[in-house]
């Protein structure tokens, strides 16, 4: 996705494939919202039990009003699936949304270990023209100062170039 017009066209034509990395409290409702809008959506998580349960038709967030109905609808129309296979999920996606935990320690310093770990994995498998959105709570400068260099670590792709 080189520019906003490409993103807009992909959204309008419903050709955009979304991968939400981290399908917990924030990521799963986000993924379901994309799927409800008619976009093919893949939920990616390292929690095998969660993924298996979701793929078996069990909605894990019973306290999210309205989302169980959306979950059932988008599973039925096959707009949403979940996986633990990062290679498969990322290779099929144009938009990768990172919805990963950034817990604070006792000194209120956030841990970006999940974002850093996923960023390293992405650096090996990202496709040209992928659009990455960070939904996680981060401090100003994290993307520019840390995440971009992690994503470009393998020298395969360069942010804003390909």
**Domain ranges across the chain:** 4-151
Res 14: pLDDT: 83
44 and 117 in contact (C-beta within 8 Å)? no
Average pLDDT of each block of 10 consecutive residues along the chain (162 residues)? 74 88 97 97 98 97 94 97 97 95 92 94 87 89 84 67 52
Res 160: pLDDT: 58
Res 161: pLDDT: 58
Question: Was domain 4-151 assigned CATH 1.10.10.2160?
Answer: no
Res 89: pLDDT: 97
Res 60: pLDDT: 96
Task: Name the token pair of 64.
Answer: 């999210």
Res 74: pLDDT: 98
pTM, two decimal places: 0.89
Determine how many CB atoms are found less than 10 A away from the CB of residue 106: 5
Give residues with Cβ within 8 angstroms of 51, minimum separation 6: 23, 43, 45, 82, 83, 84
Res 99: pLDDT: 97
DSSP 27-66: HHHHHHHHHHTT-EEEEE-S-HHHHHHHHTT--S-TTSTT
């Amino acid at each position: 996705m080189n520019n906003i017009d490409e993103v807009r066209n992909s959204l309008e034509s419903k050709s955009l494939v979304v991968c939400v990395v981290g399908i917990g409290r924030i990521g799963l409702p986000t993924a379901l919202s994309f799927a409800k809008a008619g976009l093919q959506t893949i939920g990616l998580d390292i929690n095998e039990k969660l993924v298996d349960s979701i793929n078996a038709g069990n909605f894990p967030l019973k306290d999210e009003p309205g989302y169980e109905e959306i979950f059932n609808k988008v599973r039925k129309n096959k707009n949403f699936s979940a996986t633990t296979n990062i290679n498969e999920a990322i290779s099929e996606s144009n938009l990768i949304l990172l919805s990963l935990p950034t817990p604070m320690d006792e000194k209120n310093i956030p841990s970006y270990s999940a974002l850093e770990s996923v960023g390293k994995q992405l650096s090996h498998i990202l496709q040209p023209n992928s659009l990455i959105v960070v939904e996680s709570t981060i401090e100003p400068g994290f993307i520019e100062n840390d995440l971009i260099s992690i994503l470009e670590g393998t020298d395969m792709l360069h942010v804003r170039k390909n």
